[in-house]
């Protein structure tokens, strides 16, 4: 595997949230190949154990697993406590999910859970581990956002709003964190072939534009972090579409597709 991340700057330990599947799992594999030890975080502990064991066997790294529901308020405190003895040079704040539906059809409690998971947990992790990295004067933070978030995504309103918060937070901190030697990049995730695609009601084979592979997403995301790019939108075809199609057009198209695919009436 091609090396993407310098373990002297971003090691010896990296935290990856949402490491049990999809993009987070792919990032964990690349970081292990780069020689970083891993703290793997998600809710499905058996999957994390399996991934940690396999990466440790293949690349000779150390790992620790943490079961945490990042939609719950105390989760980041738990992660901080369970990693207090480790020198962490990289945070990949990636865990998240989406549930299509009308904004008002969810209970207020459900909407707050989505916000905690998709926005506040990233905010808290960035604050907590940003402080530690500032003290050591080096490190990196990669936060997983989403394409289209700043323009709104009908029937995914709280997820889009959460991801828009992350983009703005990251852009501000990109300037502020330079004095601490901390790279920070927002991954503006474009459709990527993971479990989230069917969850959002799409079929990867019939989507208007085919999703990119996890490998491509990971390679462009970590490559951008290594260069301290403020953000990265993987996949040339998505960058072109994003540049050419007006937000009002893509928002209306997405709204229609979300409604049709998820039988929203
Ligand atoms: N793939 C895409 O097209 C796409 C597009 C836009 C944005 N994204 C973003 O990319 C990120 C990764 O998603 P993915 O595409 O890789 O999908 P995925 O395969 O479903 O992975 C989601 C990861 O997040 C974890 N997670 C979900 N809810 C959690 C919770 N409450 N607490 C802790 N961990 C939780 C999951 O682990 P457990 O289930 O084990 O907890 C899993 O490891 C997400 O933030 C998503 O919003 C993806």
- For 63-99, the pLDDT digits (tens) are 999 999 999 999 999 999 999 999 999 999 999 999 9
| Of 160, 67, 66, 73, nearest in space to 112 by CA | 73
Which of 19, 194, 213, when mutated, tests ligand 1's pocket best, judged by the most ligand atoms within 8 Å of its CB? 194
The token pair at 24 is 């987070």
Q: Where are the domains of the chain?
A: 7-261
Atom 46 in ligand 1: which residue has the minimum CA distance?
Answer: 96
Tell me which of 34-38, 104-108, 149-153, 184-188 is least confident: 149-153
CA distance 101 to 84: 39
24 C-alpha to center of ligand 1: Å?
A: 7
What stretch of H or E contains 77?
A: helix 75-82
75 sits in the region (left: phi over 0; alpha: psi -120 to 50; else beta) called alpha
Atom of ligand 1 at shortest range from CA of 163: 47
Atom of ligand 1 at shortest range from CA of 23: 16
Q: How far is CA 196 from CA 12, 137, 211, in A?
A: 30, 36, 11
- For 110-145, the pLDDT digits (tens) are 999 999 999 999 999 999 999 999 999 999 999 999
Predicted TM-score (pTM) above 0.95 = yes
Residue 261 has pLDDT above 90, yes or no: yes
CA distance 75 to 185: 23
What stretch of H or E contains 42?
A: strand 37-42
Q: Is 117 in the pocket of ligand 1 (CB under 6 A)?
A: yes
Decide the pairing of beta strands 37-42 and 13-17: parallel
Fold exhibited by the domain 7-261: Rossmann fold (3.40.50)
Q: Is 23 in the pocket of ligand 1 (CB under 6 A)?
A: yes
CA distance 236 to 227: 18
Edge to edge, the sheet with strand 13-17 lists 63-67, 37-42, 13-17, 88-93, 139-146, 182-189, 231-232
Which of 41, 42, 98, when mutated, tests ligand 1's pocket best, judged by the most ligand atoms within 8 Å of its CB? 42
145 C-alpha to center of ligand 1: Å?
A: 11
- For 47-62, the pLDDT digits (tens) are 999 999 999 999 999 9
Instruction: Rounding to the nearest 10 degrees, give the CA dihedral for residues 241, 247, 250, 251.
Output: 150
Which of 23, 71, 191, when mutated, tests ligand 1's pocket best, judged by the most ligand atoms within 8 Å of its CB? 23
Q: Is 21 in the pocket of ligand 1 (CB under 6 A)?
A: yes
Cβ neighbours around 212 below 10 Å, total: 19
User: DSSP state, 146?
Assistant: E
Q: Is 261 in the pocket of ligand 1 (CB under 6 A)?
A: no
3-state secondary structure of 155: coil
- For 1-47, the pLDDT digits (tens) are 899 999 999 999 999 999 999 999 999 999 999 999 999 999 999 99
């Amino acid at each position: 595997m091609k090396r993407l991340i310098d373990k002297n700057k971003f090691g010896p330990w990296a935290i990856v949230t949402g490491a049990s599947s999809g993009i987070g799992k792919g990032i964990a594999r690349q970081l292990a190949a780069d020689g970083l030890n891993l703290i793997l975080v998600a809710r499905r502990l058996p999957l994390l154990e399996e991934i940690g064991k396999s990466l440790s066997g293949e690349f000779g790294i150390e790992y620790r697993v943490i079961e945490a529901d990042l939609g719950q308020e105390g989760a980041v405190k738990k992660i901080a406590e369970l990693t207090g003895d480790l020198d962490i040079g990289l945070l990949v704040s990636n865990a998240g999910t989406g549930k299509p539906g009308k904004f008002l059809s969810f209970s207020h409690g459900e909407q707050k859970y989505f916000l905690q998971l998709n926005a506040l947990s990233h905010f808290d992790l960035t604050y907590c581990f940003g402080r530690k990295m500032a003290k050591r004067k080096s490190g990196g933070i990669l936060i997983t956002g989403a394409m289209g978030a700043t323009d709104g995504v009908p029937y995914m309103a709280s997820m889009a709003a959460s991801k828009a918060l992350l983009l703005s937070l990251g852009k501000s901190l990109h300037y502020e964190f330079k004095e601490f030697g901390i790279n920070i990049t927002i991954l503006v995730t474009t459709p990527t072939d993971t479990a989230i695609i069917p969850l959002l009601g799409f079929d990867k084979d019939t989507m208007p534009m085919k999703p990119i592979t996890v490998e491509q997403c990971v390679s462009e995301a970590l490559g951008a972090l290594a260069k301290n790019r403020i953000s990265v939108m993987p996949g040339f075809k998505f960058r072109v579409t994003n540049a050419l199609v007006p937000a009002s057009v893509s928002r209306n198209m997405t709204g229609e597709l979300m409604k049709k695919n998820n039988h929203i009436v």
